[in-house]
Amino acid sequence: MTTRRTIAPEELDTLNLADPRLHAESDLSAVWRHLREHEPVHWNPATGTAPGFWVVTRHADVTSVYRDNTAFTSEGGNVLETLLAGGDSAAGRMLAITDGARHRELRRILLHAFSPRALEPIVESVRNTVTRLLRDAIEKGSCDFAADVASGIPLGAICDLLGVPDGDRAHVLSLTSSALGSHDADSTAADAWIAKSEILLYFAGLARDRREGGHADVIALLAGSKVDGLPLDDDEIMLNCYSLILGGDETARLSMIGAALALLDHPDQWEALRRGDAGIDTAVEEMLRWTTPALHSGRTATADTEIGGRRIRAGDIVTIWNASANRDERVFDAPESLLLDRVPNKHITFAYGPHFCLGAYLARAEIGAVLAGLRDLVAEMEQTGPAKPVYSNFLSGLSSLPLALKGA
């Protein structure tokens, strides 16, 4: 069991929802519940160093903003960090922060690599990797589930897709772990900036190598593609690899770690999974809802408009909070309960609309492989030390989860 300080709604006026410590060390469930009920579109005021921003918390409003990339653009940035800093220099070149026709064309190119058929060998490799890592952990008797199991699964898959050499993968993982969050409460924005810069430089080198041909990976696919009749330059390839490596690693990995903790904290659901009372497919969807590894997404209003009766001005920063929408009582029965057989499950962990996660199929397969592996190979789990949170206002999850595993 992991305990965090519960924040009461009465403290709302003192909170800054851009503070990574707040999300890492606190339970905001009561605050989200209060906002959904009484102030579904809330203004988080400016601080001395950053502008204010809108906080959208109801499922219906969140999906409405996700759906409308004309009134709410991602091209000013799609996370608080870049939005509060004044924008993202990769806008219009990186898929995640590009809208309109160019977004559709770039997404069409990448969908070829992320189709279920194209991913068949990757998914098979994922299953084998999960089995190997869990058996190793069982044989040792104890492990850090985050470092020893989860870290080797999604990163391996996305590196296979991108053609990252085996010898570089540990280094790439260390960089991705620092780019959007931190294991350390005292980590600075400069640390994240350095990690991002190193990732970009790394993929710039790979992009140049792939120009030579003879490769069959996503980087080579991008290098050989055209958008608006023009080939993608090295910077565009580099930026989209950066986006894919972060999106493909962080969210699935954090969901896996969160799923293991959730099974520990909910022994009835662990038994339901082991008995087969809850199927893997529905369990995956519930774990995605329960863990919600991407807390929010961000947009910029392109014109004066309205959300939930609140007037939004052109240029305002609008943040849509998956963490709240995935617990909305208007959509989910007993949203504060983990129910691995929950149907329907309209979570928005993979976003919604034009920017629906490109790697959703692969992430589901990875989490499903972990849940199936735990079900089939593990008889008992015990937490042997304190879990450590990720410090981020964007990512939610654990950087460490010490466990003892006993084989079935």
**Across residues 161-187, what is the average pLDDT?**
71
Structure tokens at 57: 């918390």
Percent of residues in the chain assigned helix, strand, coil, to nearest 5: 50, 15, 35
Which range is least confidently modeled, 65-69, 125-129, 159-163, 305-309? 159-163
Lowest mean pLDDT among 69-73, 109-113, 306-310: 109-113
Say yes or no to pLDDT of 139 above 60.
Answer: yes
Report the percent of the chain where pLDDT is more than 90: 73
Q: Measured between alpha carbons, how far is 77 from 97 in angstroms, rounded to an integer? A: 6
Question: Does the pLDDT value for residue 394 go beyond 90?
Answer: yes
CATH code of residue 384? 1.10.630.10
- Tokens encoding 245: 């490596």
What single-letter amino acid sits at 225? S
Rounded CA separation 295/166 (Å): 31
The more confident residue out of 299 and 167 is: 299
CA distance 43 to 17: 10
Decide which of 16 and 199 is more confident. 16
**Model confidence band, residue 165 (pLDDT cutoffs 50, 70, 90):** confident
Mean pLDDT throughout 78-91?
Answer: 92
The alpha carbon of 77 is separated from its chain's Cα centroid by a whole number of angstroms, namely: 16
Q: Where does residue 128 rank: exposed (0-12), middle (13-18), buried (19+ CB within 10 A)?
A: exposed
Task: Please state, in angstroms and as integers, the Cα–Cα distance from residue 266 to each residue in 80, 273, 354, following that order.
Answer: 32, 11, 35
DSSP line for 334-369: STTS--TT-SS----TT--GGG--TTHHHHHHHHHH
Q: How confident is the model at residue 116 (pLDDT cuts 50, 70, 90)?
A: very high
Query: Closest Cα to residue 241, out of 148, 179, 184?
Result: 179
Nearest CA among 288, 355, 361, 354 for reference residue 325: 288
Distance (Å, whole) CA 219 – CA 213? 10
Q: What does the block give as tokens for 203? A: 């993929």
Beta-carbon contacts of residue 208 (< 8 Å; ≥ 6 apart): 234
Position 213 scores a pLDDT of 63
Q: Which of 233-242, 322-331, 354-363 has the lowest mean pLDDT?
A: 233-242
pLDDT at 146: 96
The continuous run of DSSP H or E covering 241 comes out as helix 234-265
Please state the rounded mean pLDDT for residues 226-236: 88
Q: How far apart are alpha carbons 225 and 210 in whole angstroms?
A: 12
CB 313 within 8 A of CB 370: no
User: What percent of the chain is predicted at pLDDT more than 70?
Assistant: 94
Q: Quote the pLDDT of residue 242.
A: 81
**Residue 71's pLDDT is what?**
97
- What is the per-residue pLDDT across 212-227, written as a single tens digit (0 to 9) for each? 666 678 888 888 889 9
- The mean pLDDT value for 31-51 works out to 96
Q: What is the mean pLDDT of residues 327-356?
A: 98
Measured distance between the N- and C-terminal CA atoms of the chain, rounded to whole angstroms? 23
Mean pLDDT, residues 77-81 taken together: 95
Q: How far apart are CA 28 and CA 34, in angstroms?
A: 10
Are the C-beta atoms of residues 176 and 385 closer than 8 Å to each other?
Answer: no
- Find the domain containing 308 and state its range: 5-407
d(CA 354, CA 356): 6
Per-residue pLDDT for 1 more than 70?
no
How many domains, the chain?
1
Q: What is the mean pLDDT of residues 113-136?
A: 95
**Rounded CA gap, 174 and 57, in Å?**
32
- Average pLDDT of the segment spanning 301-309: 97
Angle between helix 189-210 and 234-265 (nearest 10): 120
- Is residue 184 pLDDT above 60, yes or no? no
Q: Is the pTM of the predicted complex or chain greater than 0.75?
A: yes
Specify the higher pLDDT residue, 234 or 43: 43
Tens of pLDDT, residues 190-207: 666 677 778 878 777 777
Q: Which residues on adjacent β-strands are paired with residue 26?
A: 5
pLDDT in tens, 87-106: 988 899 999 999 999 999 99
- Which position has the token pair 């998914």? 123
pLDDT averaged over every residue in the chain: 91
Amino acid symbol at 126:
V
